[in-house]
Structure 1
């Protein structure tokens, strides 16, 4: 054996791999867990230890790892077509998927532009809206509005419509000059309201921004109902209703980033449904293929599509492409996901389990002296840890309490990756109550290790 082969898999990993969203020095005390295989919500490493993946591997694993029906669909597709250029050429899985998406997306949505990851679908959405106004006589509409604390991806355009936080501050000189609207913060509402009983008084910030900047704005982009990376911050459907009306009033396109919220994560197929609104553009990814393969779709209205429909020489084509756009294997996985969700009534089962999980988490954590709020939407639940629940004072960020709890949870076999000091459950939609009970027990033990009751 060579010297490399004699080294452990963990050492071989660290010799060459730069892991995403990581400070690699942390790996000196917490080396990578090398996963050998997975099943349902469980991951099994090369040493035989198992981990309950309560975060769905970055929110993407929708129906469990190695789902037999998705596996079979992919295997079947492999024997007929693995990939083909998507310019001029097409294939049955993409056509069938587009038809299925047309059936389940909001009313305005009817055309589908295939991309290969969430960030690229956001980039496409921004460029489409920019070019739409250029081609329809309003070239001055060049900027974008977004909510503070938002997250829409890691490419420069996507970062530009996100929050100016640790993801983006370093790259600010490279980014577009956009309009950042104060986002709802229902846990620390400055108006003294709560998300169940308010008139979205905070919407005044959007109204002021539109009054001042709508004439130069092409689109407003939002994560509907749930700002994920902000700490699973949930806001009322009424906010979206008001935003749709405001966009219509000022002729600004509304982009709903449903990458994290789509495909049942918030309790409905898409979060927009809960507000009864339809965006002009919708971005989807993650759960689209059940977390199997990188694929995204930028979904648009006929109005936007029609603005690009012309003879090629008129310069109205949309010059945006990805090598793996419309990949047949990804489309086959996505079709299998939709088949499972429909035939197995996944949304209905998940809704019942969501109510049960809410009650169980409340019993386990509501009286903990450092639990400020347990918030939930669909099966997504988040526990915000604070210094004092009365004052809602945050914990000392330098102590990295959430990270310490994460490491304790890993020791017990639970993947409880935090968002700062916010711990969250975002499991596969078909997780069982027994598995959820295990997650609650392991989470409780891990939290009380660091923050005793």
Structure 2
């Protein structure tokens, strides 16, 4: 049966972010439990990247699964231009209650890219409705915001979009002064970055529709961190320039930075925030663009052309909203908050050990995300396959190795994963592994989740 599935996949399926001519064969996933994905041949893989950063609470979480099943038996879909329903209204209210300031208007969409496109379109039309023709957007070097045209334009320096360069519209790109443990040059680099940012604002006075940034962590750029101080300086300048500040929290939201949202940890209130990935706990695709009320008010009037004429077929899908409500309740619970802190503590201890290896540079940590640089991208590509053989699902980005595990992973299982990482990276370093006393492989299914 598994051979049949793999044959059908090889014949008909086009996988994302994959060079099919050189990629290893796809793994046939048949079930998941907690931090583990099991394949048809009975092998288990610890999902240390939360399946592209979406899975907050572990695979097949029974609380979320039950909420989706119950909703499916009541209302599976309704056109959101004509109706509302309880899951959508309640989820919007609960998300807004967690956000700072008057971020209290939710526009539902499908994924992170569409959440960003919605924000960009809203910003452009907001200024038009206010009688101003503002067309300039400011992004940040290395930023990645998705794969639709507007999002690609913001992420033109991310390295992902060379094939579409001629289609992208102009965007001003500001520096992103990324930092790491032991970085003693960051203050000087931040000052230089802010000087460049000020120059962008000066030459575009009265023309900037919005400034858009990933707060604290640039995900696809290689888990690059910036300090909260830099974000606060950007926010202050956006306010002084009289433009809108949009935070792309598609990856950083829902506890990944240690706070529920990165804007809380940074101490800033944006004008819009884009949410997706962890919104439904990994169960269903869904996104939000949340705005402050003054933006919503600018779209009201007697003329329909003043309204925001944008939508998606599955906008505010009741199943996704039910999953989102269940996931958010789990996230805000004491048990999950304690696990987030515990994961960060394990990462801290293990990163400090890894920092002594010759192959490791620029170790960095923010909440449940831990990362470090390897000597080169070839090392990352080789390690990816080695880790797969040893039961770890890790996807190095070039020379950057990172972990972003689901919150259900307990300390023992996380240490076990770090042991394997340290063992293999030690071999690159030419050093002996220093943790041979620990167990280095599964079974994962029974010991990687909280009972």
Question: Same fold by TM-score, threshold 0.5 exceeded?
Answer: yes
Matches within 5 A, 1:66-85: 66-85=60-79
**What is the CA distance between 1:67 and its match in structure 2?**
0.5
Q: Could you say which residue in structure 2 is the equivalent of 1:410?
A: 388
Q: Could you say which residue in structure 2 is the equivalent of 1:389?
A: none
Q: Could you say which residue in structure 2 is the equivalent of 1:362?
A: 352
Matches within 5 A, 1:429-448: 429-448=407-426
* Cα shift readout 1:56-95 (whole Å, capped 9, x = no counterpart): 0001100100011001111110110000100020101001
The match for 2:284 among 293, 301, 304 is: 293
Separation in structure 1 between the aligned mates of residue 429 and residue 147 of structure 2, nearest angstrom: 33
Separation in structure 1 between the aligned mates of residue 178 and residue 256 of structure 2, nearest angstrom: 20
Asked if the contact 1:42/1:51 (under 8 Å) is kept, the reply is yes
Q: Could you say which residue in structure 1 is the equivalent of 2:119?
A: 125
- The count of residues paired between Structure 1 and Structure 2 equals 431
Separation in structure 1 between the aligned mates of residue 181 and residue 149 of structure 2, nearest angstrom: 30
Asked if the contact 1:200/1:239 (under 8 Å) is kept, the reply is no
Asked if the contact 1:268/1:347 (under 8 Å) is kept, the reply is no
Separation in structure 2 between the aligned mates of residue 418 and residue 214 of structure 1, nearest angstrom: 40
Asked if the contact 1:123/1:158 (under 8 Å) is kept, the reply is yes
Q: Could you say which residue in structure 2 is the equivalent of 1:420?
A: 398
Asked if the contact 1:404/1:450 (under 8 Å) is kept, the reply is no
Matches within 5 A, 1:151-300: 151-187=144-180, 193-194=185-186, 200-300=191-291
Q: Could you say which residue in structure 2 is the equivalent of 1:329?
A: 319
**What is the CA distance between 1:188 and its match in structure 2?**
11
Q: Could you say which residue in structure 2 is the equivalent of 1:392?
A: none
Matched, 1:384 2:378: no
5+ residue gaps, structure 2: 432-451
C-alpha change, 1:212 and 1:273, in structure 2 (3 Å) is same
**What is the CA distance between 1:319 and its match in structure 2?**
1.0
SS of residue in 1 equivalent to 2:340: helix
Separation in structure 1 between the aligned mates of residue 314 and residue 184 of structure 2, nearest angstrom: 49
C-alpha change, 1:451 and 1:17, in structure 2 (3 Å) is farther
Q: Could you say which residue in structure 2 is the equivalent of 1:24?
A: 20
Separation in structure 2 between the aligned mates of residue 380 and residue 434 of structure 1, nearest angstrom: 17
Tell me how large the CA RMSD over aligned residues is: 1.9
C-alpha change, 1:198 and 1:172, in structure 2 (3 Å) is closer
Asked if the contact 2:181/2:363 (under 8 Å) is kept, the reply is no
**What is the CA distance between 1:451 and its match in structure 2?**
4.8
The match for 1:94 among 59, 71, 88 is: 88
Matched, 1:347 2:337: yes
**What is the CA distance between 1:381 and its match in structure 2?**
0.1
C-alpha change, 1:96 and 1:243, in structure 2 (3 Å) is same
Separation in structure 2 between the aligned mates of residue 230 and residue 15 of structure 1, nearest angstrom: 32
Matched, 1:320 2:310: yes
Asked if the contact 1:405/1:450 (under 8 Å) is kept, the reply is no
SS of residue in 1 equivalent to 2:291: strand
Asked if the contact 2:179/2:186 (under 8 Å) is kept, the reply is yes
C-alpha change, 1:104 and 1:165, in structure 2 (3 Å) is closer
Asked if the contact 1:265/1:429 (under 8 Å) is kept, the reply is no
Separation in structure 1 between the aligned mates of residue 2 and residue 153 of structure 2, nearest angstrom: 45
C-alpha change, 1:159 and 1:198, in structure 2 (3 Å) is closer
Q: Could you say which residue in structure 1 is the equivalent of 2:443?
A: none
SS of residue in 1 equivalent to 2:132: coil
* Cα shift readout 1:217-258 (whole Å, capped 9, x = no counterpart): 100000001111111111110111111111111111000000
Q: Could you say which residue in structure 1 is the equivalent of 2:439?
A: none
**What is the CA distance between 1:401 and its match in structure 2?**
1.8
Separation in structure 2 between the aligned mates of residue 417 and residue 352 of structure 1, nearest angstrom: 23
The match for 1:372 among 361, 365, 381 is: 361
**What is the CA distance between 1:360 and its match in structure 2?**
2.2
Q: 4+ residue stretches of structure 1 with deviation over 6 A?
A: none
**What is the CA distance between 1:207 and its match in structure 2?**
1.2
Asked if the contact 2:274/2:287 (under 8 Å) is kept, the reply is yes
SS of residue in 1 equivalent to 2:41: coil
C-alpha change, 1:354 and 1:188, in structure 2 (3 Å) is closer
**What is the CA distance between 1:403 and its match in structure 2?**
1.0
Separation in structure 1 between the aligned mates of residue 369 and residue 29 of structure 2, nearest angstrom: 25
